């Protein structure tokens, strides 16, 4: 229930085949609601991205290492337990007081022979900027990963999760229940970054969706 209405959020993967899909919701009283959804083609945008010296610079070896370790990082963030009930009742908000997108969701970063999809959004945030929880939830992961750097994962319940990457400081611990807008850490440039910023990811049932479009739903 959101603002008095039964509400469902469905994530559609970046690589979902185009076409028409039927969504079907079945209620406990037996009612069924069906809705047709069209998945359209997304223009493929590719941009080169270098590897910083701290991760080996632009060599074939460091490109290979980047891709293999990215897979390891992502495995550690896959299949996170989610609360069966929604933990939030208010609107989702952006994670920073000042919002400026520096790198959109969905384009591919060309790194040598690899093309790595950007499955989150980058916001301008100088080192040490306060990062807020985009809604109420429970902290599932606080960790430091090679490429994602210092990372926090918040579970908002019913499969909705938010991911905060490249932080310089983490101010929460696993199991903490965080409030909407609570300061959870400080931005930084840990892991695979070419400078300080905040990477925000949002997943619905483990599908990484566009955080900017997601936040627009609640405006």
Q: Are 126 and 97 in contact (CB under 8 A)?
A: no
Q: Are 208 and 77 in contact (CB under 8 A)?
A: no
Closer of 138 and 152 to Zn ion (Cβ): 152
If residue 61 lies in a helix (H) or strand (E), which one and from where to where?
helix 60-76
Three-state SS sequence of 9-41? CCCCCCCCCCEEEEEEEECCCCCEEEEEEEECC
Give the shortest CB-22-to-Zn ion separation in angstroms. Answer: 33
**Which one of 148, 156, 166, 197 is the catalytic residue?**
197
The interface mask with Zn ion, positions 180-219, x = CB under 5 A, is: -------------------x--------------------
Of 122 and 210, the one with the shorter C-beta distance to Zn ion is 122
Binding pattern to Zn ion, positions 96-135, x when CB under 5 A? ------------------------x-x-------------
Residue 140 Cβ vs Zn ion, minimum distance, rounded to whole Å: 20
Determine the residue with CB nearest Zn ion.
199
Q: Are 198 and 213 in contact, with CB atoms under 8 Å apart?
A: no
Query: Please, is 5 exposed, middle or buried when counting C-beta atoms within 10 Å of its C-beta (0-12, 13-18, 19+)?
Result: exposed
Clarify whether 199 is annotated catalytic: no
Name the residues that contact Zn ion, by CB under 5 A: 120, 122, 199
Catalytic residues: 197
């Amino acid at each position: 229930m959101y603002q008095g209405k039964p509400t469902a959020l469905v994530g559609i993967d970046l690589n979902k085949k185009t076409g028409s899909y039927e969504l079907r919701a079945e209620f406990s009283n037996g009612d069924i609601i069906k809705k047709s959804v069209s998945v359209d083609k997304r223009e493929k945008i590719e941009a080169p991205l270098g590897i910083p010296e701290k991760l080996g610079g632009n060599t074939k070896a460091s490109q290979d290492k980047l891709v293999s370790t990215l897979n390891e990082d992502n495995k550690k963030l896959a299949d996170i337990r989610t609360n069966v009930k929604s933990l939030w009742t208010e609107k989702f908000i952006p994670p920073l007081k000042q919002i400026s997108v520096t790198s959109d969701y969905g384009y591919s970063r060309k790194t040598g022979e690899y093309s790595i999809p950007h499955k989150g959004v980058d916001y301008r945030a100088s080192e040490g900027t306060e990062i807020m929880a985009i809604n109420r939830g429970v902290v599932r992961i606080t960790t430091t990963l090679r490429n994602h750097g210092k990372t926090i994962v918040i579970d908002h319940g019913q499969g909705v999760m938010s991911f905060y990457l490249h932080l310089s400081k983490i101010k929460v611990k696993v199991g903490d229940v965080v409030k909407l807008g609570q300061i959870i850490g400080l931005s930084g440039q840990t892991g695979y970054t070419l400078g300080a910023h905040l990477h925000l990811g949002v997943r619905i049932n483990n599908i990484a969706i566009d955080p900017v479009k997601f936040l627009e739903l609640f405006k």
